[in-house]
């Protein structure tokens, strides 16, 4: 039985990851602040921990055990990354953590892993650190300084019925309310990943001892306009969509250029990726049924 520590595993795909690990027979400990009921009862051991606070008393229990693998879902900055190095250097050989498509920048016909290299990235202490920059810096610190193996999962937007950010819900509700949906660019190509797929990729990499950087998304990308056509199909009637360059930051999926991952690497190593239509259409139909009054 493999002893696995999950830091921040009580919401969305973190919770799905814990569920899969339990189903696969692993001995799972979750470390969270304890603000949310994890729902696993006695199936997991729970340590109350503020992972960003290196002096939190919860660390004492964690660093006095050996872990075959650690999965961190709440590492957002170089400071968070350094805490992980300091705490796990002698207690694990492998750290897995959630990174993001946000590490990439600029207009490209799909982002590959090589388009951001944490080994050569120079941290600029003078710039503002938002979400994407935080993930870049976290990757840089972990991949260049950690004495243990590191695996980073670069996910795009993660969607599912239980997405607490309700980004896809936003569009379904707009369509059901006959409200106009705003986008910058109809032909911009995008892709996403289903919450269950994100969880399964993490479990797959842990069990197969995969090291390095992985894009994890659908195997294809589609235009925003195609996505809205699918939404109209799910709703069962035409929907109002306005495409204009003036609609900057108009809605959660709105982008000014192609923004999708090329996830060939993980697919070639044996992990099955889904096509976007394969799960997006059923998810849209389920949300329509859930939100329709």
Q: Please name which of 92, 34, 82 lies closest in space to residue 62, comparing C-alpha atoms.
A: 92
Structure tokens at 75: 């590492």
- List 154's β-bridge partners, or say none: 99, 215
Q: Which residues have CB under 8 Å from 250's CB, separation 6+? A: 182, 183, 184
pLDDT of residue 245: 80
Q: Please name which of 223, 238, 239, 218 lies closest in space to residue 283, comparing C-alpha atoms.
A: 218
Lowest mean pLDDT among 3-7, 8-12, 15-19, 189-193: 8-12
Question: How many of the other CB atoms lie within 10 Å of CB of 280?
Answer: 23
- The enclosing H or E element of 276 equals helix 276-291
pLDDT of residue 1: 62
Task: Give the integer Cα–Cα distance in Å for 136 and 159.
Answer: 22
- List 182's β-bridge partners, or say none: 242
What is the layout of strands, in order, in the sheet containing 45-48?
Answer: 45-48, 27-32, 3-7, 69-72, 94-100, 149-155, 212-215
Q: Which residue bears the tokens 């949906």?
A: 181
pLDDT of residue 247: 72
CATH 3.40.50.720 matches 3-157+193-215: yes
Tell me: the pLDDT tens digits for 140-195? 999 999 999 999 999 999 999 999 899 999 999 999 999 999 999 999 999 999 99
Domains of the chain: which residue ranges? 3-157+193-215, 159-191+219-259+275-291
On the CB side of 247, CA atoms within 13 Å amount to: 18
Mean pLDDT of the 30-47 span: 90
Query: Is residue 249's pLDDT more than 80?
Result: no
pLDDT of residue 274: 98
Average pLDDT, the chain: 95
- List 261's β-bridge partners, or say none: 111
Q: What's the predicted TM-score (pTM) here?
A: 0.95
Q: Which residue bears the tokens 């990943």?
A: 193
Task: Give the integer Cα–Cα distance in Å for 215 and 80.
Answer: 22
Helix (H, G, I), strand (E, B) or coil at 281: helix
Tell me: the pLDDT tens digits for 194-244? 999 999 999 999 999 999 999 999 999 999 999 999 999 999 999 999 998
Q: Which residues have CB under 8 Å from 194's CB, separation 6+? A: 158, 159, 160, 274, 279, 283
Mean pLDDT of the 70-74 span: 97
CATH 3.90.25 matches 159-191+219-259+275-291: yes
Query: What percent of the chain shows pLDDT beyond 70?
Result: 98
Query: What percent of the chain shows pLDDT beyond 90?
Result: 89
DSSP 12-67: HHHHHHHHHHHHTT-EEEEEE-S-S--S-GGGSEEEE--TT-TT-THHHHHHTS-B
């Amino acid at each position: 039985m493999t002893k696995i520590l999950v830091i921040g595993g009580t919401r969305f795909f973190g919770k799905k990851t814990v569920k899969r690990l339990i189903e696969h027979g692993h001995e799972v400990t979750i470390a969270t602040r304890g603000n949310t009921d994890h729902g696993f009862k006695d199936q997991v051991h729970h340590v109350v921990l503020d992972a960003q606070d290196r002096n939190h008393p919860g660390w004492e229990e964690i660093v006095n055990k050996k872990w075959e693998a650690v999965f961190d879902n709440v590492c957002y900055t170089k400071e968070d990354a350094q805490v992980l190095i300091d705490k796990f250097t002698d207690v694990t050989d492998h750290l897995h953590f959630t990174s993001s498509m946000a590490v990439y920048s600029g207009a490209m016909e799909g982002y590959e892993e090589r388009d951001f290299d944490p080994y050569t990235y120079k941290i600029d202490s003078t710039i503002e650190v938002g979400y994407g920059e935080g993930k870049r810096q976290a990757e840089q610190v972990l991949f260049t300084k950690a004495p243990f193996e590191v695996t980073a999962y670069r996910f795009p937007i993660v969607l599912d019925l239980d997405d607490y950010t309700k980004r896809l819900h936003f569009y379904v509700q707009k369509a059901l309310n006959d409200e106009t949906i705003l986008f910058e660019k109809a032909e911009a190509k995008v892709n996403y990943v289903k919450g269950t797929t994100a969880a399964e990729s993490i479990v797959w990499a842990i069990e197969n001892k995969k090291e390095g950087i992985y894009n994890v998304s659908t195997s294809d990308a589609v235009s925003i306009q195609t996505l809205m056509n699918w939404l109209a199909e799910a709703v069962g009637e035409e929907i109002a969509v306005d495409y204009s360059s003036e609609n900057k930051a108009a809605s959660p999926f709105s982008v000014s250029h192609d923004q999708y991952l090329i996830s060939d690497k993980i697919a070639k190593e044996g992990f099955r990726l889904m096509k976007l239509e394969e799960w997006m259409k059923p998810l849209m139909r389920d949300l329509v049924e859930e939100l329709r009054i």
